[in-house]
Amino acid sequence: MFKEERNFNRFTWKDLGDINEGRPNLGLTVPVFAYRLLQYTFRDVLITELGIEKTNDIIVRAGKLAGAQFCMNLLNRELDFNEFVAQLQRVLREQTIGILRIEKADIENMNFTLTVAEDLDCSGLPFTDEVVCNYDEGFIAGILEAYTGKLFSAKEIDCWASGDRVCRFDVREVRTDK
Amino acid sequence: MIDDIVDKITMLLQGKIPSKIDTEKLDNENECEFSKKLNQLIDFMQEIHEFIIPLSKGELHDIKVQPGNYLASPFKELHSRLVHLTWQATQVAKGDYEQRVDFMGDFSEAFNAMIIALDQNEKLLKKKIDELEKAIFHIVKLEGILPICANCKRIRLEGAPYDKQESWVQIESYISNRTKAEFSHGICPDCIKKLYSD
């Protein structure tokens, strides 16, 4: 199931299992450092094996899978955009994933600027002059893809790690020329 | 050299932006390195200056601090929050009361309370308008010419056949069903005379 050879993604929410049943004593949550240990050790090894570009691409794609499943399982996709954004902000806060703040929303052109404060990926990282939230990029794009049914790209333009104290993303629909 | 540096730092402490040190003219390696760092500080402070003044005037767009200016980070965070609040206020102006401001201290509390109050007031207003529209509808129903029996004063229901007795209802019933008015019964002086003349 998790280990068979394949060339397509098959991850779904139920692959996460019944955490309540499996962790009756330790519960649903873990410290943020456990999340970062996983992500940054993966990143470290992937860079040595595949290089930076491929590594970033893999992390974005994984984030997209997660974002789409998150949207399909925890969010109501029937809401109109404003209600959906309010819901997303609330759920991200309740699940302690991050503090979402919209700065610009051009619904007609499907172009958004948003920030995520206190995010899991990078808040508190040492300053390195890099933007590092590739998983968040994918996660945000995945949520919007699942909500709208259209292709999205999210590009981080400011990051805690680049000294900005907040992660800002430019999110837009990917329009393919027919 | 030291006097020049003290002057420049004094200017920085006074909120002014001094000119940078010409490092090309310095022979001493330590002085050169120190001067480069001071120049970088001057650059950072100048950038902050050019960022924070428009920000203090509410000009949120077309201002930017280059990555790597860590001294400016809190101002960038402030800018980000103000841009978000501007979006929130715009949404409220459009009638979107779903949004909430998170984790901005007293401001969140005040802003969210305002959105909830606006939402409640609008709902109350809509309810009142609805009630008024219904009242107007009833009033309109009482307008026009009412067919009334010349003898018993019953009123014929709208569209009901003339020759059926059930088409004709008591005037009290007719008005009570179309307004909030209720009737209490008594007898006027003329009728008392007619009914109890003995």
ipTM value = 0.83
Question: Are the beta carbons of B70 and A90 separated by less than 8 Å?
Answer: no
- 3-class DSSP state for residue B42? helix
Position A1 in a domain: no
Q: What is the pLDDT of residue B141?
A: 65
Q: What is the pLDDT of residue B179?
A: 75
Cβ atoms of A154 and A143 closer than 8 Å = no
CATH number at residue A69: 3.30.1380.20
Q: Please check the confidence at residue A42 and state whether its pLDDT lies above 60.
A: yes
Question: Are the beta carbons of B102 and A165 separated by less than 8 Å?
Answer: no
Q: What is the pLDDT of residue B176?
A: 84
Position A6 in a domain: no
Which amino acid belongs to residue A173?
E
Q: Which helix (H) or strand (E) holds B174?
A: helix B171-176
Alpha carbon distance A56, A52 (integer Å): 6
From the list B73, B76, B87, the residue facing A103 with the nearest CB is B87
Query: Residue A71 has which token pair?
Result: 């949207």
**Rg of chain A in Å (alpha carbons):** 17
Q: Please check the confidence at residue A96 and state whether its pLDDT lies above 70.
A: yes
Please choose, from the candidates A126, A112, A120, A124, the residue with its C-alpha nearest in 3D space to the C-alpha of residue A157: A112
Q: Please indicate whether residue A76 or residue A129 has the higher confidence score (pLDDT).
A: A76
Contacts of B32 (CB under 8 A, 6+ apart): B23, B26
Q: Please check the confidence at residue A118 and state whether its pLDDT lies above 80.
A: yes
Q: What is the pLDDT of residue A150?
A: 96
Q: What is the pLDDT of residue A89?
A: 96
Contacts of A146 (CB under 8 A, 6+ apart): A67, A68, A69, A71, A72, A77
Position A7 in a domain: no
Q: What is the pLDDT of residue A128?
A: 85
Residues of A in contact with B81 (CB under 8 A): 101
Query: Residue A104 has which token pair?
Result: 């610009």
The total of structural domains in chain A comes to 1
Q: What is the pLDDT of residue B140?
A: 63
B77 touches chain A (CB under 8 A): yes
Mean pLDDT, chain A, as a whole number? 94
Residues of B in contact with A102 (CB under 8 A): 84, 87-88
Position A93 in a domain: yes
Q: Please check the confidence at residue A178 and state whether its pLDDT lies above 60.
A: no
Alpha carbon distance A89, A72 (integer Å): 16
Provide the domain limits for residue A89: 13-173
Per-residue pLDDT averaged across A98-119, rounded?
Answer: 95
Q: Which helix (H) or strand (E) holds B171?
A: helix B171-176
Alpha carbon distance A131, A34 (integer Å): 21
Question: Are the beta carbons of A102 and B84 separated by less than 8 Å?
Answer: yes
Q: What is the pLDDT of residue B197?
A: 79
Cβ atoms of B5 and B19 closer than 8 Å = no
Size of interface A-B (CB pairs under 8 A): 59
Alpha-helix residue ranges (DSSP H) falling in B18-162: 29-56, 73-93, 105-141
CA distance B114 to chain A (A): 16
Is the overall model pTM greater than 0.90, yes or no?
no
Structure-derived torsion over alpha carbons of residues A144, A145, A149, A153, reported in degrees to the nearest 10:
100
pLDDT tens for chain B, 198 residues: list them: 788 899 999 999 999 999 999 988 888 888 899 999 999 999 999 999 999 999 999 999 888 888 888 899 899 999 999 999 999 999 999 999 999 999 999 999 999 999 999 999 999 999 999 999 887 876 766 777 889 999 999 999 888 999 999 999 998 888 888 777 888 989 999 988 888 876
Q: Please check the confidence at residue A93 and state whether its pLDDT lies above 90.
A: yes
Q: Where are the beta strands (DSSP E) in chain A?
A: 99-106, 111-117, 152-158, 167-173
